[in-house]
């Protein structure tokens, strides 16, 4: 029995270490970095800069409409994050469709009945600030503009940790 438990523990550590090294290999940013500067279209014809949202807790999700893990994660983001915090003036959530424009994203958003902002990143200009490949990705930025969380791929336990971190940070902000 001890041998089986040891083998499972070793396998878990190996997989976890590999997954972490994959994040480091593909990511251009790390926890503690300032969020890179970039502009984006918040709606057709209206451009804003990420720095316009300084002072808020910002969640950035990088995805593609064709990505299976993205399509598992986004309904959970709608229910567990956006529906809870969309009215909180201290929170912003931006989902960027990697290499996708309004023509794909508007019908996708309507079909999935998402109410959070799904924004184009047709030329990968936003995505390329954070990584060279692999989706989905989540980046959480604190009110000072520092990256406090990053993830790659979708894993339910890790996603639940992100939800708890957002809940805790926003609760902390309202009690100050």
Q: Tens of pLDDT along 5-28?
A: 444 333 333 333 333 334 447 788
| Structural domain contains residue 13 | no
User: Is the N-terminal amide bond of 98 cis, ω within 30° of 0?
Assistant: no
Q: How many helices (H) and strands (E) does the chain have?
A: 6, 7
Which helix (H) or strand (E) segment holds residue 49: the answer is strand 46-49
What DSSP designation does 145 have? S
| Structural domain contains residue 5 | no
Dist CA 141 CA 113 (whole Å): 26
Predicted confidence at residue 175, as pLDDT, reads 67
Predicted confidence at residue 8, as pLDDT, reads 38
Predicted confidence at residue 70, as pLDDT, reads 97
Predicted confidence at residue 176, as pLDDT, reads 59
The ranges of the chain with pLDDT < 70 are: 1-24, 175-176
Predicted confidence at residue 9, as pLDDT, reads 38
Could you tell me the residue range of the domain that residue 80 belongs to?
Answer: 28-175
CATH number at residue 63: 3.40.30.10
| Structural domain contains residue 15 | no
Alpha helices in 40-134 (DSSP H): 68-77, 83-85, 102-112, 127-130
Dist CA 59 CA 62 (whole Å): 10
Q: Tell me the whole-structure pTM to 2 decimals.
A: 0.84
| Structural domain contains residue 2 | no
Predicted confidence at residue 26, as pLDDT, reads 76
Q: How many residues in total does the chain contain?
A: 176
| Structural domain contains residue 14 | no
| Structural domain contains residue 115 | yes
Predicted confidence at residue 100, as pLDDT, reads 96
Number of domains observed in the structure of the chain: 1
Q: Tell me the sheet residues that pair with 141.
A: 58, 147
Predicted confidence at residue 1, as pLDDT, reads 54
| Structural domain contains residue 139 | yes
Predicted confidence at residue 153, as pLDDT, reads 93
| Structural domain contains residue 12 | no
Dist CA 82 CA 79 (whole Å): 6
């Amino acid at each position: 029995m001890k041998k089986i438990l040891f083998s499972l523990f070793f396998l878990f550590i190996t997989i976890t270490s590999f997954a972490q090294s994959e994040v480091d290999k593909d990511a251009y940013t790390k926890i503690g970095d300032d969020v890179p500067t970039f502009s984006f279209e918040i709606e057709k014809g209206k451009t804003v800069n990420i720095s316009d949202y300084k002072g808020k807790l910002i969640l950035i999700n990088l995805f593609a409409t064709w990505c299976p893990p993205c399509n598992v994660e986004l309904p959970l983001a709608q229910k567990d994050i956006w529906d809870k915090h969309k009215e909180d003036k201290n929170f912003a959530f931006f989902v960027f469709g990697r290499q996708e424009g309004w023509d794909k994203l508007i019908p996708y958003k309507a079909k999935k009945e998402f109410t959070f902002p799904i924004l184009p990143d047709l030329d990968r200009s936003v995505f390329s600030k954070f990584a060279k490949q692999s989706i989905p990705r989540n980046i959480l930025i604190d009110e000072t503009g520092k990256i406090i969380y990053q993830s790659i791929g979708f894993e339910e336990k890790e996603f639940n940790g992100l939800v708890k971190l957002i809940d805790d940070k926003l609760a902390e902000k309202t009690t100050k």
